[in-house]
Structures are given as C-alpha cells and as structure tokens.
C-alpha cells in the first residue's frame, strides 16, 4: 500500500527500512514512553522484517529526501466484531515539530475509514506524553478516559515498576471527517 500527502509518502513498512528505524529507536529520548528496544543491527533487521510481515506498520517517508522519518502502527484489535483499530506512532526526533506525524496519521485514518469498514479508532499514551496526546487531539480524537497506574515501561533503580497513568483517545466512524481531496492521492500497490 502507498498513500501520499503534500509532503509525505506513507507506505507499507519494508525490511530495508531497518537503518532509518535504527536511528530513532536507539535514542532514549525518543523511546522514553515505549520502553527500551534492542537496537543492534541484527535486532533492527529482525524488527523491520517483523513490521513488514505484520502488514500493520506504515513507514513515513519525506518526499523531499526519501528518508524514512518515522512509522505509524495501525492494527485491528480483538474481537474482530468490534471493528476497532489501534493507532500508534514513533518519529525520529530530528523531524518533530513540523506536523509530519499528524499528516501521516490523518492519511492512514482516512484510508482506514474509507477502505476497512472501521467502527472506531483508539489510541493510548501516558498522561505525561503531551506531544502524543496533542497529536491525537489535532487529529480530532476525543479524550475518553484516564486509567490510573495502567502502564509501566520503566523501573526504579531498585527494579520496582514505575507506573504511569494512561489516557485513552477514540474516534468513531461517524465522527471522522474524511478529507475529500486525499482520495485522489491514494494509490494501492499489492
């Protein structure tokens, strides 16, 4: 699959994206709310292959340079009958603050609502992860609730889990304003 926006190509993740992936998943400041991911060359190759195989990961490429600057996760949750998809994203911090993540996620949601018969899209993040929940709000997602101490990706020096309060955001099919002009930019490739 391949989607296009003014500044971005948003396409199915490929195994050869591993080097661009490695750049940002090896940065603790990017991965603070994700937990540590192994970032050796081998681990990144394996992860890129797994992302590509899953079909749920979109690579975001800057048109101007061809560089892969981040990825979007968009996968169906269980049970299937709920027709609910989960959204996630990690972007290289050299490219934060330009609206690229919002632009990419909006296009992935447009495509999903148009093509997949989605009823609801949800996303979760730590309450402290303001850039993440601001992105969801820019997309027009609704804050649905706060689950106290629901997630942990970090430990204290003594090995005790550090619990984070977790926000859930959501948007329903009838609430999503699919952008009319983006349909013309979509091209599907098997």
Ligand X SMILES: CC(C)(COP(=O)(O)OP(=O)(O)OC[C@H]1O[C@@H](n2cnc3c(N)ncnc32)[C@H](O)[C@@H]1OP(=O)(O)O)[C@@H](O)C(=O)NCCC(=O)NCCS
13 contributes a contact to ligand X by CB under 6 A: no
96 contributes a contact to ligand X by CB under 6 A: yes
89 contributes a contact to ligand X by CB under 6 A: yes
Which residue's beta carbon is nearest to the bound ligand X?
99
Of residues 127-156, which lie at the interface with ligand X (CB under 6 A)? Answer: 129, 131-132, 134-135
Which of 43-51, 97-105, 106-114, 175-183 is the region at the interface with ligand X (rule: CB under 6 A)? 97-105
Closest separation in Å from C-beta 151 to ligand X: 9
Rank residues 35 and 187 by Cβ distance to ligand X and give the closer one: 35
Rank residues 18 and 24 by Cβ distance to ligand X and give the closer one: 24
Question: Which is it for the CA torsion 51, 53, 56, 60, positive or negative?
Answer: positive
Among 90, 141, 151, 171, binds ligand X (CB under 6 A): 90
Closest separation in Å from C-beta 2 to ligand X: 20
Among 99, 140, 161, 177, binds ligand X (CB under 6 A): 99
Q: Which residues pair with 86 in a beta bridge?
A: 75, 122
Q: Which residues contact ligand X by CB under 6 A?
A: 30, 33-34, 89-91, 96-102, 125, 129, 131-132, 134-135
């Amino acid at each position: 699959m391949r989607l296009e926006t003014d500044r971005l190509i948003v396409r199915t993740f490929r195994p050869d994206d591993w080097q661009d992936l490695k750049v940002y998943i090896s940065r603790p400041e990017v991965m603070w709310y994700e937990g540590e991911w192994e970032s050796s060359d081998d681990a990144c190759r394996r992860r890129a292959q797994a992302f590509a195989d899953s079909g749920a990961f979109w690579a975001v490429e800057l048109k101007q340079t061809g560089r892969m600057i981040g990825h979007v996760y968009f996968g169906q949750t269980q049970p299937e009958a709920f027709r609910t998809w989960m959204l996630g994203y990690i972007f290289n911090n050299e490219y934060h603050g330009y609206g690229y993540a919002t632009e990419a996620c909006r296009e992935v949601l447009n495509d999903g609502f148009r093509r997949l018969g989605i009823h609801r899209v949800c996303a979760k993040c730590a309450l402290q992860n303001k850039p993440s929940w601001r992105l969801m709000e820019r997309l027009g997602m609704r804050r649905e609730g706060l689950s106290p101490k629901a997630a942990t990706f970090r430990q204290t020096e003594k090995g005790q889990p550090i619990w984070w309060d977790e926000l859930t955001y959501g948007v329903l099919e009838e609430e999503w304003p699919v952008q009319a002009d983006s349909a013309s930019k979509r091209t599907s490739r098997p």
